Amino acid sequence: MNTLDYIRWRSDITMKYAPFNDVDNLIVGQIPYLDWEGVLDQGETMTLGQAWEGYCRRHAGEEIPADDLIRKDAEELISLCADSVRYRDIVLFDYVKEHDREQEKQFCALTMKLPDGTYYVAYEGTDITILGWKENFNMSFMCPVPSQVAAAEYLKKQASARFRRFRVGGHSKGGNLAVYAAVTLNKPDKIIAVYNNDGPGFPDEFVKSGAYQNMKPKMKTFLPVSSVVGRLLNNETDVLIVHSNNNSLVWQHIPNNWEVEKDGVSTLSANSTESQFLQEVFNSWNNQLNYEQKVVFMNTIYDCMVSLGIRTSGELYNNPAQSMARIALKLRSYPEATRKTVREVIGVLMKCNVHTFYEQFLGSRIPLPRDLFS
C-alpha cells in the first residue's frame, strides 16, 4: 500500500478516531508542492477542499511539465485528499513562496490547522529549477542558507501564537528546513514532532549544538531504501529506512512510492548498496574538499548552466551526455585557476567513486592491495 492507497482506504475515518500518524505526515508534507499563488493569497484562510477547487479553476487546462515528477504526484495526492473526510477540512493559511536568484533562494511554506486542533508547518522541498538544486548543494558548505533563515523566521512567527503546538515537516529540502527551523526556535515545549522526509542533514557543528540535541528526541527521519538526497551531510537521528515499490534512484525520492501500513511506514533494516555507495561519495565531498574548492566548483558549474540557458533539472536528466558536453565546452572560457579547481574536485570525487565502487561491489570477490587507492 502506498500513500494514495492509504488516502482511499482511510477516506471516511477522521483524526478523532484514528489519530495523526507518520503516514499523515508524508501526505500533508507534500501540500506545499502545488502552486497555491492566486488561491491562498496573503491573509487567505480556507479548507483544503476549498483550496483545491480554487486551484483547479486557476490552473484549468494547464499541464504540469513531464519532468516535474513530484508536483505531478502531489496533484494526484491532493485531489484525493480534497475528497476525503480525513483531510478535506484541514485549514490552510499563511502561504509564502519566494524565488530570489540573487540570494540563490527557493523557499515555500504554509501552515495547516489539523482536525485534532494541532498545527502542521510544512516546507516545500527542492523544485525542478536549477536555482533550487544550487541551494541544496550550498548546504554542504554553508549553514544557514537563505531558505533556512526564512524557515526559522516563518516558524518563529507561527509559534508566537501563545496556545499553538506544532508538528513541523517537509519532504526533501523541506525536511531540512523543518529541522533547522525547529532547532533554532529552541522551544521544545511548542513542538510535538519534527519530520524530515528524505531531506539533507547538517554540518557537524550544527548537529552537535545544544539546541539540536534538545530537539533530537522529537525528530523523525525517513529515508527510502535507495536514498540519495537524504544521504547529504549528517542527520544523527534515529532513521527509519522505508521500503519503496520503485527501484529507480530518482523515483525512490517521491513519497508516493513508499510502502506504508496502517499507522506507519514499512521499514527495512538497511539502505541499498547503491545508497551506501553514494553516502561515501558525499562523505568525500564533505571531508576531502575545502571550502574554497566547494564554492568555486558549485558556482562555476551553476554559472555555466545559467549561461547555457539550462533552467531545470529535467533538462539535465533528459540528455545528460549532451548537457555535460555543453558544460565542459563552456568551461574552456573560464580562467585557468578556475578550471584547475574544477579538475581537482572532479579528481577527488572520481577517486572516491573508484575506491567506493570496489569496496561496495567488488571487494569480497577481487582482492587487491590495500594501498591501491591511497
- Domain segments of the chain: what residues? 3-270, 289-362
Please give the average pLDDT of every successive group of 10 residues along the chain, which has 374 residues.
93 91 96 94 91 94 76 91 96 94 88 95 84 76 91 96 91 95 93 94 88 94 76 70 73 84 81 65 72 85 84 72 85 90 81 53 44 40
| Cell numbers standing for residue 1 | 500500500
Residue 96 near residue 122, CB atoms below 8 Å: no
Residue 155 near residue 121, CB atoms below 8 Å: yes
| Cell numbers standing for residue 261 | 501500513
pTM reported for the whole predicted model: 0.84
pLDDT score at 52? 97
pLDDT score at 311? 77
How many angstroms separate the Cα of 372 from the Cα of each of 164, 195, 285, 346, 368? 58, 42, 20, 19, 7
pLDDT score at 163? 83
How far is the C-alpha of 32 from the C-alpha of 322, rounded, in Å? 33
**What kind of fold does domain 3-270 have according to CATH?**
Rossmann fold (3.40.50)
Q: Which residues contact 111 (CB under 8 A, 6 or more apart)?
A: 92, 93, 94, 119, 120, 121, 122, 158
How far is the C-alpha of 178 from the C-alpha of 105, rounded, in Å? 16
Residue 348 near residue 288, CB atoms below 8 Å: yes
Strand, helix or coil at 239? strand
Helix, strand, coil distribution of the chain in percent, nearest 5: 50, 15, 35
Strand, helix or coil at 275? helix
| Dihedrals phi, psi of 300, to nearest 5 degrees | -70, -50
Computed on alpha carbons and rounded to an integer, the radius of gyration of the chain in Å comes to: 21
| Cell numbers standing for residue 337 | 585557476
What b/e sequence results for 247-270 when a residue is b if at least 16 CB atoms lie within 10 Å of its CB, and e otherwise?
eebebbbbbbbbbbeeeebbebee
Strand, helix or coil at 61? coil
pLDDT score at 298? 82
- Residue 19, classified by CB atoms within 10 Å of its CB into exposed (0-12), middle (13-18) or buried (19+), is exposed
pLDDT score at 216? 93
